[in-house]
Amino acid sequence: MREPIIKIENVCVTYNAGKLGETKALKNVSIEIFPEEYVIFFGPSGCGKSTLLYTMAGLEIPESGVVNVIGKNLAEASQRELVEYHRTKLGMIFQAFYLIPSLSVLDNVVLPQMFHRKKPKERKERALEVLKRFGINQYADHLPTELSGGQQQRVAICRAVMNDPDIVFADEPVGNLDSAASEKVMQLLYELNTKDKKTVILVTHDSRYLQFAHRIIYLRDGEVVREVTNTERKQLREAKIRPFVALALEEFSRYYPHLDEGELKAKFLSHYLLDLTEERLQERLEVLVRKRSAGEITREQFIARVNTPFTEGGVGLYEQTAEHIADNLDAVLEESQFMAEHFKHFPESYELLQQGISRLRNRLLSGYHGHLTDEQSERLNQAIKARLEGSLDHRQFKEVLDRPLKEGGVGLHYQTAQDFGRRIEVYLIDYAKYTPTVAAVSDGTKIANV
Ligand code: ADP
Ligand code: MG
């Protein structure tokens, strides 16, 4: 099985701890990055992207949490191992290039091999080869300042890959470049990933480049707020850690592309609660569901408005029906919020996972009058787990529930399978990383607006 090349868990970084101007730059961040992945950290200025990058590179020591890189816990590495790690396993590219102005381009590129046992001639040959590869060997004897910004950044890329590292970290590498030079540099980084099979981790706040990555991790105020998988690139991660995606919700969104996430969830929930044949009634119910979900109206207000005649602006349902819907809605909201909180850092621990699965199972089984054998019960657990991990989508989940036991399914009645399948999506509606932009990753502008 593929192991992550970088795995950080519950990492916190605080600047000026306990002093004036204390900044929590990273709050409980957990991320796994796999070999040969291209991952982008995206977010507004000050959200913690650089801090995250430097933490992974071992340049920033977190106050808590674990940083594992290439099978090593950095906190347990000796000084010598850290130096070795920097020299041989990773290459860094910065916005400001950081070339040494008094050294020639060639000598800047040779620099990472200064402590190699290699002969100077071999080092130079290697440097020239790399410069040639990136199309700037003709400037080998120039000083960096004689080159354009784009060319200087290419020299910095050469320096970063001189020792053939496994991971390339780039912090806003085109932040100082014009668009033509930016294009070129981004193309080279992409090639480092696709041709040279380097793991590339890029920090940017520019949405134009999101199309290059396998995954985009969105940060805000030191937290990972969501993650988008670029469906245009074949994914390298094991299915087991693929995050749960609200596929049912996403499918739903195709019919209602103009709705925002909150509106979409309200629509999803109200259809679950009650399928009204009258479109205008359904819309009114949705508005109320949305308000109730957001805590803007109380249960009593919700019931009153659902009960109000249509001509007076309500949904026009009987009071008893309104109460029933209100109770169902509150139960669902409570459950989905619990699940979202419970699985905030999924997959966090085995215990949390098991607790979540058995809670979901009990929820699904409440009101179920049949009897499950131990085997069925175990299969149901497995199916829930697979759904949570995303290795079963919402359709496959229902299909597995319905499939006979002897064919590896849970062997539930068709209607029960449909019912459970619909309800699990509802319970996980807040946990779900609903990503309306998955299909739009190649059009980065859309992502920037979310
Ligand atoms: P980004 O790269 O996303 O712009 P940073 O990781 O550089 O964000 O910064 C995250 C937060 O930490 C910001 O509020 C920034 O002001 C603060 N910060 C970063 N570096 C330092 C530092 N050395 N000392 C104090 N605060 C810092
Ligand atoms: Mg930064």
Q: What is the Å distance from ligand 2's center to 172 Cα?
A: 7
For the cut 60, the answer to whether the pLDDT of residue 74 exceeds it is yes
Note the pLDDT of residue 350: 73
Of ligand 1's listed atoms, the one at least distance from the Cα of 171 is: 2
For residue 24, give the nearest of 14, 16, 32 by alpha carbon: 14
380-433: per-residue pLDDT in tens?
A: 998 998 887 777 878 889 999 999 999 889 999 999 999 999 899 889 888 765
Report whether 232 contacts 444 (CB < 8 A): no
The pLDDT assigned to 443 comes to 31
Which amino acid would we find at residue 330?
D
Q: What is the pLDDT of residues 201-235, one digit of tens each?
A: 999 988 888 889 998 898 989 998 777 777 677 77
User: What's the pLDDT band for 435 if we cut at 50, 70, 90?
Assistant: very low
Is residue 50's pLDDT more than 60?
yes
Residues in contact with ligand 1 by the CB-under-6-Å rule are 15-16, 23, 25, 43, 45-51
Q: What is the dihedral of CA 288, 290, 295, 298, to 10 degrees?
A: 10
The pLDDT value given to residue 436: 36
Span from the CA of 91 to the centroid of ligand 2 (angstroms): 17
Q: For residue 348, name the pLDDT band (cuts at 50, 70, 90).
A: low
172-186, 188-202, 222-236: range with lowest mean pLDDT = 222-236
What is the number of the ligand 1 atom nearest to the C-alpha of 54? 6
pLDDT at 182 over 90: yes
Which domains, ranges and CATH numbers included, belong to the chain? 6-245 (3.40.50.300), 246-450 (no CATH)
| Distance in Å, CA 171 to ligand 2 centroid | 7
Average pLDDT, the chain: 87
Give me the sign of the Cα torsion angle 419, 422, 425, 426: negative
Nearest ligand, measured from the Cα of 48: 1
Angle at 178 between CA 176 and CA 179, to 5 degrees: 125
For residue 164, the CA-to-ligand 1 centroid distance in Å is: 30
Lookup: tokens for 178:
């014009």
Comparing 296 with 258, which gets the higher pLDDT? 296
